Structures are given as structure tokens and as C-alpha cells.
Amino acid sequence: MALKIFVLILALSTFTSFGQNISGKVLDNKNNLPIKNVNVYLTKTKEGTTTNKKGEFNLNFKSLAKQTDTITFSIIGYTSKSFALNELKINNNTIHLFEKIEELKEVLLNSYKKLNSKIQFNKLSSLKRGIHSFASSLIEDNIFVIGGDASYIEDTAKKALLEMGSYSESTFDDLLKRLRHNPTWVNYKGDLRMYDIKTDTWTTSDLKFRK
């Protein structure tokens, strides 16, 4: 009698539950290629695994699952699917996923802010002669400008050739004359100039720096 009860219980458990291990494959529905890194898990317990580069998976359950329990397949870029365990058996445990195409809603940008065509500014007092490569420091309401390169460099040869090109009767002697006229000079300032922000004025200190 005990043996008959054991056989009956075994038969019922086989009918109402599924094996502890399920293997299968996940493929792209369009090109039938394997999809790797697909999340495969038992929906109710979240026990799961992922597919390998061949799209294959091997899912082991710690607890018995009924044939009506579902397995979920999900991965970014594809529509997730869930199948009952008995459905997987009908499909030979081969799952096809459809690529998920996202359609973005139209986005309208409206700007009600009026942009100014001009920038308002105040023109400040300038130095009498321009300099570059100088050092400066802001102390309270004064800007101190120390030294600076006031050199003037001119490409005499280039300028002479351009000028000769404007005259069809130019000669080689004309080119030589133009080359002799070279306005280039080198000059380094040793002055200390001070700009007063409040009064918008420049002054030059009696203190001199070595060039």
C-alpha cells in the first residue's frame, strides 16, 4: 500500500512540476542569429542566467517550478517575452525575440526671449601706443601694466613683391629699392603704466623697469 502511495505521489509531482534544469537557445526573429547576454529567469523567483555568444542558456532552479510557471527573456533593444514552461517544450526551448524599435515623440522648442542684436558696453580709455607680451596686475581699483613689447615687424620682401605685382613695368632695381626700405624695429618698454578704473585714465609712473 505504501509503495502505491509513493508511486502516485511521484506521478502527481511529475505532472505538476518541471525539472530542475532547462536548456535552450535565443535567436533574433529577423535574421535567426543568436543573441548573447539575454536575461533568462523564472518570473516568480527571479532565478536566472544569461545566454552565451551562441545564444544558448542553461537555467537551473533551486526550487521546483510548475509547468504553468513562466520564464522571461529580456535584453535592451528587444521586446521582452514570457513563456510558460510547457510552451517552451513545444517550441523545443528555442525562443525568437523581436527587435524593439523606439519611436520618439516630436519635441517642439519655443523661445519667447528677445535676443539683443547689440551688446551694450562702455568704451574705456586706451593707451597711446599699443603693446603686447606685457605683465599686468589688478590691485583694488587700479590695473598696473608692466613693460611690454612695442616692436614693429614687417615682412619687407613679401610687401615688396605684392607692390611690384601691382605695376607691370616694375624692374629688379625697383625690388631692391623697396627691400632697402625696412620700417621694422625692436623696442621693449620699461614703463609702469597705471589705469584708474574709476576715473578711466592712464598715468605713467616715473619708476622704470629694465628692458
Taking residues 61-88, report their average pLDDT. 85
Taking residues 71-98, report their average pLDDT. 88
Non-local CB neighbours of 65 within 8 Å, separated by 6+ positions: 17, 18, 42, 85
Residue 42 has pLDDT above 70, yes or no: yes
Among the ranges given (7-21, 84-98, 171-185), the one the predictor scored with the smallest mean pLDDT: 7-21
Q: Are 40 and 22 contacting, i.e. CB atoms less than 8 angstroms apart?
A: no
| Separation CA 207–CA 190 (nearest Å) | 9
Taking residues 156-184, report their average pLDDT. 69
Q: What pLDDT, on a 0 to 100 scale, did the predictor assign at position 13?
A: 42
81-84 β-sheet, strand order: 48-50, 39-42, 70-74, 81-84
Over the stretch 109-141, which tens digit does the pLDDT of each residue have?
Answer: 877 778 888 888 888 888 887 788 888 999 999
Residue 92 has pLDDT above 90, yes or no: no
Taking residues 157-178, report their average pLDDT. 68
Q: What pLDDT, on a 0 to 100 scale, did the predictor assign at position 167?
A: 61
